[in-house]
A and B are shown apart, each in its own frame.
Chain A
């Protein structure tokens, strides 16, 4: 009963409006794709980072509600960045963006404290479905 209500409730853009996203990916294409997906669902883009070092700095600075984190990036991997972010804020919501075949890396990231993950190639609705669930909508 309780679950059914939660399932049926579709997220309104207004509800998501307050949520701020930090997008971390070394590929501009991916950042743009993710930005479009989040923007279309009414999220606000707090910032974008293209490596792990920048990601940790921006997280500390921006305190976003949600981080999407690429795994393989220069300077500092998404796994290490996730570990540091979770140390900064144990309640941080970090969603790993992995490619097919990187499952063991994803598992490592989960052990490091990542909240959840999405697998490329993804569709906008898949990303939003995961985000909605982890944000408790």
Chain B
């Protein structure tokens, strides 16, 4: 029979989900009592992947999944915790399955042989475990071994409101047919509202396959019965499990079609803005009615845009799923004992934020395990519990989401950070000496500053904390570091709920127009610096609210000619890390709401730029990055302080 390949993408999506969940559960298992419900879930997932893969004739996946399932089944019934090598082996199997599922998604060659060595090791590990001394009381012992055995899969109706009770009735019916040797899951494990329920059972019976099928089909709310006869040696051809109940409530949408929808909604907003521009040129008698209509359209388009944005919201768990595994592996590698706790997994963030934060978050957590958490001996000597703890918490605060990553490790080394910052030339020795400890922690965010004298190969590679900060600020968010020596470090990320729409302040410099996110601008003011020393200033200070604020020329920073005549000119006052600074521009042009798009090469390499957008008049607009500008101005905080 030709495998139903049109369901291949569905299989890939579901199997990926099952296997990722399975890996996470394996990691959690290490903290779980033996025989806990987690085992059942792991067993079910392996079983489900095997069943669906069998339908698609993916023999390699079936073989690995089968061997893993057998091992899980043995471990499940063993009264002691699994050993670390056993968990490692199962994780390896999960990874191998995952990569095969992905390979199946890519290639047309579906049937690749299973990894013989891995299957052998799984089988060997299972063989090493004694089967449980006696079958559970609920199931008949192997006394009926003379009778033919039937493997049965039973699918309950997705409308079944009480699957446990229904499974109990099915169980009773199976018992009436012969000896029930096994049934998974047990009725008590089932819950309503979990989609399609599939029961698998083995019975030893004298009844014929047809009799058994007819009898089970006589139970209400049984949708399908599949019986594997002992004569057939091939895996049972069960159809893929579709989460029926979920299908009514949610649909899977490809992430990129949501992006396209969002782009479309954004284009509509831009089109309306252009229309509005044109309408302004109409004679006033026409324009009033016209503008009214345009405003109405604009409101609707904004609402649509908002809805698409909301549809793109993704739970925080999408970011944290891989972390327990990463922490576990890293802990083992470093000889540390670390627990990770994740709170607020259902808090939702913009998908753009989820994508951008994926690597930075891993980096922060790795940092915490690598640099923060001490070895068990050191911790014990300091009177701390031997197991370190990393807490990851997300919570919604009005229109933003706050993510905190906290460890109970040794804390940041403030004097060490100051010393490194001075050595890296980011700070003068005097400025460093003037920094108190709480301000010094933020130095860790500067490029090239690491608290350790040598970065380990663990958190040393890939992104640094400066890249983390860039990513967070690129999303319109902010990062804060708190630490107390010997007690731990907390990294706080504050992110806007919806990242891709921003109110921009439009400014003109040297004939070019730039946008600045309005929320980053504290105030605008006019000041005549020419009166105090002429044109061409590198940097001057102006007084804002009684405070001296360092001022820079945007034209100078970008090497553009300033076209403004001498005299008073506008300044934008901004604040970064508690330090205010001002930028001079030629002209303020007004405000506009814009849909931000990420920079593409080569623009993404230009310092001082954050994003690109398209204006109402159809012209592209570069959006400025205040921190980048601030760094271009060569003004690390110590020097700014010095200017005051």
Residues of A within 8 A of B (CB): 2-3, 6, 98, 100, 102-104, 106-107, 110-111, 116-117, 119, 129-130, 133-134, 136
Q: In the docked arrangement, what's the CA distance between A103 and B193, Å? A: 13
Nearest CB of chain A from residue B357's CB, rounded to whole Å: 39
Q: Is the interface of B mostly helix, strand, loop or mixed?
A: helix
Q: Which of A98, A102, A103, A130 contacts B220 (CB 8 A)?
A: A130
Contact of B214 among A3, A98, A103 (CB under 8 A): A3
The distance from the CB of B166 to the nearest CB of chain A, in whole angstroms, is 8
Closest to A137 in B: B218
Q: Is B169 an interface position by the 8 A CB rule?
A: yes
A133 touches B218 (CB 8 A): yes
Give the CA-CA distance A133 to B188 in the complex, in Å: 24
B334 proximal to A (CB < 8 A):
no
Determine if A107 and B168 form an interchain contact, defined as CB atoms under 8 angstroms apart.
yes
**Contact residue among B187, B210, B214, B217 (Cβ-Cβ distance under 8 Å from A107):** B187
B156 to chain A minimum Cβ distance, whole angstroms, is: 13
Question: Can you pick out 30 interface pairs between chain A and chain B where the beta carbons lie within 8 Å of each other?
Answer: A2-B210, A3-B213, A3-B214, A3-B217, A6-B214, A98-B162, A98-B165, A100-B161, A100-B192, A103-B164, A103-B165, A103-B192, A106-B162, A106-B165, A107-B164, A107-B165, A107-B168, A107-B187, A107-B188, A110-B168, A110-B169, A111-B168, A116-B219, A117-B169, A119-B161, A129-B220, A130-B220, A133-B218, A133-B219, A136-B218
B154 to chain A, nearest CB (A): 14
- Looking at chain A's contact residues, is the secondary structure mostly helix, strand, loop, or mixed? helix
Digitize B377-419: 1 where CB-to-A-CB distance is under 8 Å, 0 elsewhere.
Answer: 0000000000000000000000000000000000000000000
Binding site for A on B (CB under 8 A): 161-162, 164-165, 168-169, 172, 187-188, 192, 210, 213-214, 217-221
Give the chain A neighbours of B161 by CB distance below 8 A. 100, 119
| Smallest Cβ-Cβ distance to A109: which chain B residue | B165
Closest Cβ–Cβ distance, residue B21 to chain A (whole Å): 25
| Chain A min CB distance to B317 (Å) | 27
Q: Are A134 and B172 in contact (CB under 8 A)?
A: no
- In the assembled complex, the Cα of A110 lies from the Cα of B169 at a distance in Å of 7
Residues of A close to B210: CB separation below 8 A: 2
Give chain A nearest CB distance to B138 CB in angstroms: 12
CB distance from B643 to the nearest CB of A (A): 68
- Since A106-B162, A133-B219, A136-B218 are in contact, a sample of 11 more A-B pairs with Cβ atoms closer than 8 Å, ordered by chain A residue number, is A3-B213, A6-B214, A98-B162, A100-B161, A103-B165, A107-B165, A107-B187, A110-B165, A110-B168, A110-B172, A116-B219
A111 to chain B minimum Cβ distance, whole angstroms, is 8
Question: Looking across the interface, which residue of chain A has its beta carbon closest to that of B163?
Answer: A103
CB distance from B65 to the nearest CB of A (A): 31
- Please indicate the chain B residues that have their CB under 8 angstroms from the CB of A129 in the complex: 220
Q: Is the CB of A133 within 8 A of B192?
A: no
Q: Cβ of B192: which chain A residues have Cβ within 8 Å of it?
A: 100, 103
Closest to A104 in B: B164
Q: Whole-angstrom distance from the CB of B175 to the nearest CB of chain A?
A: 12
Residues of chain B contacted by A133 (CB below 8 angstroms): 218-220
Please state if B162 and A103 are interface contacts (CB–CB under 8 Å): yes
CB distance from B585 to the nearest CB of A (A): 64
- Establish whether residues B220 and A2, one from each chain, have CB atoms under 8 Å apart when the complex forms: no
Among B161, B164, B169, B187, the one with the most A-chain Cβ atoms within 10 Å of its Cβ is: B161
Complex A-B, nearest 6 residue pairs according to Cβ-Cβ distance, in ascending order: A119-B161, A106-B165, A130-B220, A103-B162, A133-B220, A110-B168
The answer for the CA separation of A86 and B575 in the assembled complex, in Å, is 80
State the Cβ distance, A87 to closest chain B Cβ, in Å: 17
- B162 with A2: CB separation less than 8 A: no
In the bound complex, CA of A109 to CA of B355 (Å): 51
Residues of A within 8 A of B162 (CB): 98, 100, 102-103, 106, 117, 119
